[in-house]
Structure 1
């Protein structure tokens, strides 16, 4: 069977939506560089740009992986083409053609740098996860981060996104080329402003004139992105092959819901994103906060507590009535009261829609995958709501359960010898090794991690008490569930023997 590629694309005409611009004589040229071509990007920004390219313009994407070769090895033989499966009541398929090439920064450094410094590159978008920005707990560039220190040494090849972009901007400055517009698409509070400050801070370490130029000209809008995009599995590959009659090395699946909100400060020269559903807003922070608090916070809580209770996927966890009730109470009692929703959004309806999305049986989103990088997610998804509620004298007990469940999750991974995917994995596992199962002792060890918990919070008596109480309660619940499961297994065995 043939593979999906430019040569086989025309054979799909009339069978499913295709990137018509790929079949035209004048194909679009690269105008966007994207850092971090993971599943979410391919189901989200690349999807929107694919739709925008149907309206014309030179906005093809050069996708850049900072280290991994996997996406490049999968998509380059397919000319960057791949299948997007949208999982709803019925699954639909379409071919995405917006990615023209996939480069690996460690292997193609010169080509990547040439793309970033080319006048034709007018946008750089990013999905590099929270940890990729190398920020400290104050949200500023961590100049002591070893990778940032490495990149500040100019004779080294940059290994961070911040270092790579700052160096490319320096070259554009030297050659009087306007800076590209840089767009963070990560779940990072105030993401555009933090990214802009990080780039200027990096530049200021070696060239104040460059930093001043960036202060005057660099555009970096805040954004909010949303769509659940589970990992690709063999079942998806088989379904895609059956649907399109071609082999696709790395198709992508996501739910039908998709949203992209961008601060309305982009240059006039932009892809036709607005025509295909992107929302431009004067203030993204309200949308961002709504998503972080009503989707991301429950998602992380569901992941850690669900995993501890023996569930595998979000859908599985949503069948646990006790767990769902706990998270719904967290939303109603502690999350919705913690922020002012944008006027365009009813937080109760928005939350109900999110829970409905979690219940989609077609989405097999692994809890263990959502649990990745907790040390980066907790300061964005959970701690701000806790701090706001403490300041206002509101309850934090349910929010504290997410932190407690995260601590217990780390302990369980350590006991089972399973890999912990987190930039602070070594430190977190070292803390877990010192835990004794006594709530106050264990919680104190975790709250002492300064890279996650600000001192003022970790020393707040009400906060500490809430986390200790949740830690004990969840430990007890997990033990009870395990005992009940063993008892049921014994009863089933006895019943089987009797029959």
Structure 2
């Protein structure tokens, strides 16, 4: 049986990538930092998924074992004998993956095991290059030319509804049927191969990555940050409010106008995509928390990310971006003490002021009109947040 090593045994790792790897016929080695989930998987060499649209029908993923991320030697040995490596750990955690990955690739070089595809399944543009660069930072003697002979790092785009759950004290994942894993065909070790069953293979990754990251993740982030302004706890509270749902649609339509212009998608096609996304967000019987959707605001405010990226590009092209500006301002107001990045963000704003913080976290120049609009929205939303009185009727 073919072997795949997957870094990340969270909801995406088990509920999306692990599911596809299982259906492709791989033996799966899951790598994670959570000792409890590693022990749980190794008890039965399996884990369970529950399909939301099929009345939570159980699907068991077997032929699985798990290893702790700290066990570098064991992981390296597994990689040395693998046909595929996949990763879904959040972008901020990729440096931790790079260490055992490099150790495994060096073992493969020593065994002349051949070149390995490494799929970085993260919500980030050029995610394959991000992981590749993290590997290159570790050892100056292991040059880029050597790495290119050992591994390929195609970019990917990922999309599936996955929600952590628990049944009878056992951690599981609830999954939606609809999913999309897009893989950059030209950068695969063999461009004609299809290492994952059910994936889309394309020569144009940017159109899929930006459509997904900006429209889905951007719209979801906007809903989370604005929901926080209003004092909501769950995303279901947001989407039960028709005014809010209409506003989320407006955000996605602002982004859709950009994506249509850049990649020649038709407006009708993108509107249908937006309808599909909103209907998925409103799926009955699930609970998703604003704290999950909105976590790590510093990463999500970076230039090129889900709100800042389309907002800047719309500004450059003269396209409407009022809702996106509002969302960036709301992200700057995200204040949850349990969220490390939120705490860091709020401390920076208190010490340096909102004007400097906008430039620091978004890279938007302080002398630009866009910067001024974000600051104006921030000040207005700051007052609204105090009374949770925001009405979703449009930006300033």
With normalisation by structure 1, the TM-score equals 0.71
Match of residue 229 from structure 1: 162
Which whole-Å CA distance do the structure 1 matches of 2:111 and 2:54 have between them? Answer: 53
Q: Is 1:336 matched up with 2:243?
A: no
Q: CA deviation at 1:405?
A: 1.0
Mapped partners of 1:311, 1:430: distance in 2: 23
Matches within 5 A, 1:66-145: 67-79=33-45, 81-88=46-53, 90-98=55-63, 100-106=64-70, 108-116=71-79, 118=80, 120-134=81-95
- Pair 1:193-2:129 in alignment: yes
SS of corresponding position for 1:207: coil
Of 223, 242, 265, which residue of structure 2 is paired with 1:321?
242
Partner of 1:207: 142
Would you tell me which structure has more strand in proportion to its own residues? 2
Residue 446 of structure 1: aligned partner: 357
2:379 to 449, 454, 472: 472
> Does structure 2 conserve the Cα–Cα contact (< 8 Å) formed by 1:231 and 1:365?
no
- Among 47, 59, 68, the residue aligned to 2:19: 47
Alpha-carbon contact 1:254-1:363 (below 8 Å) kept: no
* Structure 2: 5+ residue stretches without partners: 392-396
Q: What is the match of residue 279 of structure 1?
A: 200
| Contact 2:72 2:100 (8 Å CA) reproduced | no
Q: Distance in 2 between matches of 1:464 and 1:311?
A: 27
Change (3 A) 1:442 1:305: farther
Name which one, 1 or 2, has greater alpha-carbon Rg: 1
Q: Tell me the equivalent position of 1:35.
A: 7
What's the CA shift for 1:194?
Answer: 3.0
What is the Cα deviation at residue 164 of structure 1? Answer: 2.5
CA distance in 2, matches of 1:52, 1:476: 52
Give the structure 2 partner of residue 397 of structure 1.
Answer: 322
Tell me by how many angstroms 1:201 deviates. 4.9
Paired residues in the alignment total 384
Q: Is the 8 A contact 1:230 1:366 kept in 2?
A: no
Deviation at residue 309 of structure 1 after TM alignment: 0.9
Single out whichever of 279-288 and 165-174 deviates more from structure 2: 165-174
| Pair 1:292–1:260, CA change in 2 (3 A) | same
- Match of 2:333? 408
Q: Secondary structure at the match of 2:161?
A: coil
Task: Work out whether residues 6 and 18 of structure 2, in 8 Å CA contact, stay in contact via their aligned partners in 1.
Answer: no
TM-score where L is the length of structure 2 = 0.88
Render the CA deviation track for 1:20-45: whole Å, top value 9, x for unaligned: xxxxxxxx36x111111111111111
**Cross-structure match for 1:386:** 311
Could you say if the C-alpha distance between residues 70 and 458 of structure 1 is closer, same or farther in structure 2, counting changes exceeding 3 Å? Answer: farther
Return closer, same or farther for 1:161/1:372 CA change in 2, 3 Å cut-off.
same
What RMSD over aligned residues (CA atoms) do the two structures have, in Å? 2.6
